[in-house]
Structure 1
Amino acid sequence: MRKLGLALAAAVFAAPAFAADVTVGVTAIVEHPALDAARDGVKDSLAAEGFIDGDTIDFVYQSAQGAPATAAQIARQFVGDGVNIIVPISTPSAQAALAATRDIPIVFTAVTDPLAAELVPSLEAPGGNVTGLSDMSPMAEHVALIKEITPDVETIGVLFNPGEANSVSLVNRLKEVAGPAGLTVVEAAATKSADVQAAARGLVGKVDAMYVPTDNTVVSALEAAISVAEENDIPFYAGDTDSVKRGAIASIGFNYYDVGVQTGKVVARVLNGENPGDIDVTFASGSDLFVNPGAAEKMGVTIPAGVIERANTVVE
């Protein structure tokens, strides 16, 4: 890896293009299928744009293993190493990157609410050294799906880490759309992955269904929560489609590999000389319905045939 000084790293804004030996620092708050898929999508997208790992770029990836303090250390390390661009995956990693540098370009991805997370002051031409891609969940569609599959549900327990700004935004949005749909929301906090199972157990007897948004802490320990749902015949829904493969009943969401591909195209624009502050923050496109009839059966639920018929993916 070539080590660049901060002054040279900052010069990326003015450079027309990088010829070779460019370092792309990629970091995620934790490793789980959705974030891993986003990382792979970024890497493949960059290769398609001519930025090939081991040839024209060094693609360096580090996971914070769920620890915000480690995310901050990784960001500072990237700055010290003089990477040309930082690609943080998830809100905590993006916040850590911005705290570490106002000079090196940052292109975030899998960030739910960039404004609430104070990453950018505006979605349009945000200015500074930051832009990226939001994965705000289609929460109203999630609630409608829950009501369609399990119409008797009146109370839903949401598992989330209140320390993740993205999750707080999603829970607030869930409350906004749940009320008109006749649902009451019960919160269950888990500040670290080891707390997830206990948080799920705390919902037993209080809720008719469980839901986890795109919360990195809970998703990293998803099976622990799903086991509680299965033991107690409580329908379990998720905010991302990868979690359906792991045992949730259903979700409407993004293909996170495609989210990574979309992000990689923005990264390439910056590597080719555009100022990230001049690039609008965009929202991930595409929406797939995933269902898991086997998981539903374990929770005492039968998914309606009409839902299965229109699903993009039926997990066997």
Structure 2
Amino acid sequence: MKNKNIINNTLKKLASTLFFGIAIGMGLTGSLFSKESASPMKVVAISQIVEHQALDETYRGIVEELEASGYTPKKSLKLFYESAYGNPLTAAQIAQKYVSLKPDVMVGIGTIAAQSLVGANKNTNIPIIFSSITDPVTAGIVANLDLPGGSVTGVTNWIKLEPQIEKFKQILPNLKRLGIIFNPGEGNSVILVNRLKAVGKQMGIEVIESPATASVEVGMATEHIANKVDAIFISNDNTALSAFQAVVAAANKSNIPVFVSDLDMVPYGAVAAFGPDQYAVGRQTGKMIVQILNGTSPTKIPVEFPQKSEFYINLDALKLLYLQVPESIIKSANKLITKEKEAEGETSK
């Protein structure tokens, strides 16, 4: 994971350097592509709502898919990247900046980043690809999954809640009260909480919510419900994920497990996850971007879902919490996480 972080940071520094270097070097005050300064290189501008391991893996997947398809930064691609650091206002400013640059494709990683791009693009028709969004229809990003319409399409990271909860109950059979930390200002998180409550009711589980509107509030939000629940669940909420270590610390203090839907967070203290590989979601997104760069209209590309889900278990977290799990469940995991290594497990069908 350390090497992955190094790669992520290197890629992002390169993207940011390109953004400002080109803007300053060419003396631009508006579009990068006036008739006087036309460039043969394609342009991709990526906005990420916040930096955390899951979304960073999405970004890495996008960039590596672009490179694999022949779109290499500095050689055949101008790649711009900015993070909004979880701030909707910053996301809106980034979106306005990108629209003024008139790139070939704008990419929004995370709901608010994508919503900001769509809002800024109302008077233009720049193709937009979103990635790692739970419900793009309810979020107002597309009108329909099969026929998105307009200039927007992308890849959602949504998978059904029922199989996730079933996996968690295999690890914690007496799970009756499940806490969830979420940002009420992020539309998809509100949708997810409501869906979780409905699923929980069907499965005999009470869902107890605790809001956090900023990363600095996540630890306190977890502490607030840690003694009232049997486990904590973080599902695709970027605010909670950006302060995930605070969630784990508070949960460990109360001796309760943390479950997640993002596989990339399991090495950081979650007990288990059943969900999509965010890097693979990034590669899917990259393929869509390549289609656009090669001339396909986004109106002809339906929204895609993750191609597969996997089950990860953190053996160290199990040991820390003295959780006894049947060997059959351990063997069903696609990957077992330990401090020493990430051991490949049997594929769960």
Q: How does 1:158-173 map to 2 (within 5 A)?
A: 158-173=180-195
CA spacing shift, 1:5–1:131, aligned 2, 3 Å: farther
Cα deviation, 1:16-64, whole Å, max 9, x if unaligned, reads: xx99312100111001111111111111111222211111111111111
- How far apart in 2 are the matches of 1:307 and 1:53? 44
* 1:86 and 1:105 in contact (8 A); partners too: yes
Q: How does 1:198-209 map to 2 (within 5 A)?
A: 198-209=220-231
Say if 2:282 is the partner of 1:260: yes
* 2:32 and 2:102 in contact (8 A); partners too: no
- How far apart in 2 are the matches of 1:180 and 1:139? 12
Instruction: Choose from 327, 343, 346 the match for 1:305.
Output: 327
* 2:256 and 2:321 in contact (8 A); partners too: yes
* 1:235 and 1:300 in contact (8 A); partners too: no
- How far apart in 2 are the matches of 1:65 and 1:302? 38
- How far apart in 1 are the matches of 2:29 and 2:99? 9
Say if 2:56 is the partner of 1:36: yes
Instruction: Choose from 50, 62, 87 the match for 2:82.
Output: 62
Q: How does 1:97-246 map to 2 (within 5 A)?
A: 97-102=117-122, 103-246=125-268
- How far apart in 1 are the matches of 2:252 and 2:259? 12
Equivalent position of 2:300 in the other structure: 278
Q: Percent identity?
A: 37
Equivalent position of 1:13 in the other structure: none
Instruction: Choose from 111, 126, 132 the match for 1:91.
Output: 111
Equivalent position SS for 2:226? coil
- How far apart in 2 are the matches of 1:181 and 1:147? 10
RMSD: 1.9
Cα deviation, 1:244-277, whole Å, max 9, x if unaligned, reads: 1110000111111110111111111111111112
Equivalent position of 1:21 in the other structure: 41
- How far apart in 2 are the matches of 1:60 and 1:305? 47
Q: List alignment gaps of at least 5 residues for structure 2.
A: 1-21, 339-349
Q: Note the C-alpha offset of 1:311.
A: 0.8
- How far apart in 2 are the matches of 1:306 and 1:169? 34
In structure 1, what residue type is equivalent to 2:267? Answer: K
- How far apart in 2 are the matches of 1:141 and 1:63? 32
Q: Note the C-alpha offset of 1:8.
A: 7.0
Q: Which has the higher contact order (CA 8 A, sep 6+)?
A: 1
- How far apart in 2 are the matches of 1:118 and 1:310? 38
* 1:138 and 1:252 in contact (8 A); partners too: no
In structure 1, what residue type is equivalent to 2:306? Answer: A
- How far apart in 2 are the matches of 1:303 and 1:161? 32
Equivalent position of 1:12 in the other structure: none
In structure 2, what residue type is equivalent to 1:212? Answer: I
